[in-house]
Structure 1
Amino acid sequence: MSFSIDGKTAIVTGAANGVGLAIAKHFANNGANVMLADMDEVRLAKECEKGDEEKIKFFAGDLREKLTLANLLSATLDAYDRVDILVNGSRQMLPTDPLDLEDDTLDKLLDQNLMTAYRMSQLVARRMIKQAEGQTEGQVGAIVNLSSIAARRTHPELLAYSVSCAALDQMTRSMAVTLAPNRIRVNALAFGSVMSTSLKDTLKEHRDYRSDIENHTPLGRIAPPRDLAEAVQFLSSDGSGFMTGQIMTVDGGRTLLDPVAAPAH
């Protein structure tokens, strides 16, 4: 069974930096056509200048807006005429005060981390179904949602983030069942202990967190984003052709210990 994504077309959201950017670059290096999507147009343009302009293109806009998502899909079809893989990597982590009646973090993160992925999945799935008309066998498409081990852990200061990730996991399962008859697979990758942009920023402010994370991770290290990119490639390829509705964990064994007091990054 092959893990190849050569010749496939992928949309990767949240691709201006960190994990999303690592996935987009990894896909391009492995032969895929990639549309990078994010808000940061300057950063996207800079990153795309470094790659093959035929294999890597970008789209900038507020992905929380329905029209922006529709335009992203249209731009991808204009460039490559199809879409085979969607990686929903647009995500945000914000602290929450559970007792503050004015705290709207939960609304914000449900919109950013859940609804953006849900709406984009709807649009892309409809396109995948259309472009597969007449195709009677084989994978029609793959959707991979980036989640977090925070969905299974209890950290009141990250209530909104944890809830949004848990909701994304359940959306993954539900969409997987819905789209299975169309041979579109939907899986999620829950990660922790990966050097994301948010973790880099956190470690700058709290240097002691690094040792905390490493001490609570059986493999004893924080993984580079490329470790996640390779797992996403697996979920996108025919090599995982009988997997759908699964939440695959990449965390160096962190959740096997699951200490409540350890920071959830």
Structure 2
Amino acid sequence: MSLTIEGKTAIVTGAANGVGLAIARHFADKGANVMFADMDEARLQDEIGDQPEDTNIRYFAGDLRERLTIANLLSATLDAFDRVDILVNGSRQIMPSDPLDMDDDSVITLLNQNLMTSYRLSQLVAKRMIKQGCGQDEDASGAIINLSSIAARRTHPDLLGYSVSTAALDQMTRSMAVALAPHNIRVNAVAFGSVMSASLKGALKENAEFRGDIETRTPLGRIAAPRELAETVQFLASDGAGFTTGQILTVDGGRTLLDTVTAPAH
């Protein structure tokens, strides 16, 4: 079983910090050409800086909620690397929701950020992958990996918008997997529990006791490192997962086996 992604070209969104950055760096270390994409240009510049044209790293800054920005991201990737083989939809947002507040627009905000951005980018990239497969390389294939959350299956009222948006992302994953299977494009998702992401770091700074709550509700007794998630995403992007599509792979240290509604997942 080959887990290599060497020589393939990947777009990773949400790549300026946290989990997205860890995935993008991991892919680059494994020999893939990687376009780091995020709206935070200053952070991208700090993390990877300007790269010589002969390196396997580039970055793109822009608001991917805009259709034109998505098109420009794909164009920039093709200009740099000529093709795209892997898309990791890692751009996501977490914010609290009040289910009883009629003026709370968090559900709409999070559906736009966590679902529609991934959906539109997946559509555009998939069309490019299909075009690549119609060329001389009949074995050309593609892999799309969405970053989801166990919040899609757990109930916590304060995370209504986040839960709804990730549940929708899971269903999008399954639907697109079926639609793209005839083109040899696989679509999967990773639903993770508590990973040391940028948002979780912020939550732990505000409430130090939060760490203990998470650890006691996780059978493995710890918070995952972003690297561990990156390795899971690499598997789904590789030929080793060549017969895997439409799956929501849970990476949560066993948390969903025991979890209660009192400890939200990040």
Whether these two folds match at TM > 0.5 is: yes
Alpha carbons 1:186, 1:244 under 8 Å: kept: yes
Alpha carbons 2:151, 2:166 under 8 Å: kept: yes
Alpha carbons 1:84, 1:140 under 8 Å: kept: yes
SS in 2 for 1:178: helix
Matched, 1:40 2:28: no
Which one-letter code corresponds to 1:190 in the other structure?
A
Aligned position for 1:149: 150
Question: CA deviation digits over 1:66-91, x for unaligned, max 9?
Answer: 00000000000000000000000010
Matched, 1:15 2:15: yes
SS in 1 for 2:91: coil
Paired residues, number: 265
> CA shift at 1:199, angstroms?
0.4
Q: Describe the shift of the 1:166–1:243 C-alpha distance in structure 2 as closer, same or farther (beyond 3 A).
A: same
The range that moved more, 40-49 or 27-36, is: 40-49
Alpha carbons 2:189, 2:248 under 8 Å: kept: yes
**In 2: Cα distance, 1:69 partner to 1:147 partner:** 20
Taking the TM superposition and a 5 Å limit, the aligned residue runs for 1:246-265 are: 246-265=247-266
Aligned position for 2:96: 95
SS in 2 for 1:172: helix
With normalisation by structure 2, the TM-score equals: 0.97
Which one-letter code corresponds to 1:185 in the other structure?
R
Question: CA deviation digits over 1:47-70, x for unaligned, max 9?
Answer: 123977611100000000000000
User: Which sections of structure 2, spanning at least 5 residues, go unmatched?
Assistant: none
**In 2: Cα distance, 1:184 partner to 1:92 partner:** 26
**In 2: Cα distance, 1:50 partner to 1:2 partner:** 32
Q: Describe the shift of the 1:236–1:116 C-alpha distance in structure 2 as closer, same or farther (beyond 3 A).
A: same
> CA shift at 1:258, angstroms?
2.1
**In 1: Cα distance, 2:243 partner to 2:2 partner:** 13
Which one-letter code corresponds to 2:23 in the other structure?
I
Q: Describe the shift of the 1:39–1:31 C-alpha distance in structure 2 as closer, same or farther (beyond 3 A).
A: same
**In 2: Cα distance, 1:20 partner to 1:154 partner:** 25
**In 2: Cα distance, 1:263 partner to 1:3 partner:** 33
Alpha carbons 1:209, 1:263 under 8 Å: kept: no
The range that moved more, 48-57 or 69-78, is: 48-57
SS in 2 for 1:185: strand
**In 2: Cα distance, 1:139 partner to 1:158 partner:** 40
Aligned position for 1:203: 204
Q: What is the percentage of aligned positions where both structures have the same residue?
A: 74
**In 2: Cα distance, 1:160 partner to 1:223 partner:** 24
Alpha carbons 1:23, 1:228 under 8 Å: kept: yes
Alpha carbons 2:151, 2:264 under 8 Å: kept: no
**In 2: Cα distance, 1:79 partner to 1:31 partner:** 15
Q: Describe the shift of the 1:135–1:169 C-alpha distance in structure 2 as closer, same or farther (beyond 3 A).
A: farther
**In 2: Cα distance, 1:163 partner to 1:181 partner:** 29
Aligned position for 2:188: 187
**In 2: Cα distance, 1:117 partner to 1:85 partner:** 13
Q: Describe the shift of the 1:135–1:156 C-alpha distance in structure 2 as closer, same or farther (beyond 3 A).
A: farther
SS in 2 for 1:248: strand
With normalisation by structure 1, the TM-score equals: 0.97
SS in 2 for 1:118: helix
The range that moved more, 128-137 or 74-83, is: 128-137
Alpha carbons 1:148, 1:165 under 8 Å: kept: yes
Aligned position for 1:132: 133
The range that moved more, 47-56 or 108-117, is: 47-56
The range that moved more, 223-232 or 134-143, is: 134-143
Aligned position for 1:77: 78
User: Which sections of structure 1, spanning at least 5 residues, go unmatched?
Assistant: none
The range that moved more, 19-28 or 43-52, is: 43-52
> CA shift at 1:135, angstroms?
5.3
**In 2: Cα distance, 1:216 partner to 1:263 partner:** 10
> CA shift at 1:261, angstroms?
1.6
**In 2: Cα distance, 1:153 partner to 1:195 partner:** 19
Question: CA deviation digits over 1:14-59, x for unaligned, max 9?
Answer: 0000000000000000000000000110111121239776111000
Moved over 3 A (4+): 50-53, 134-139
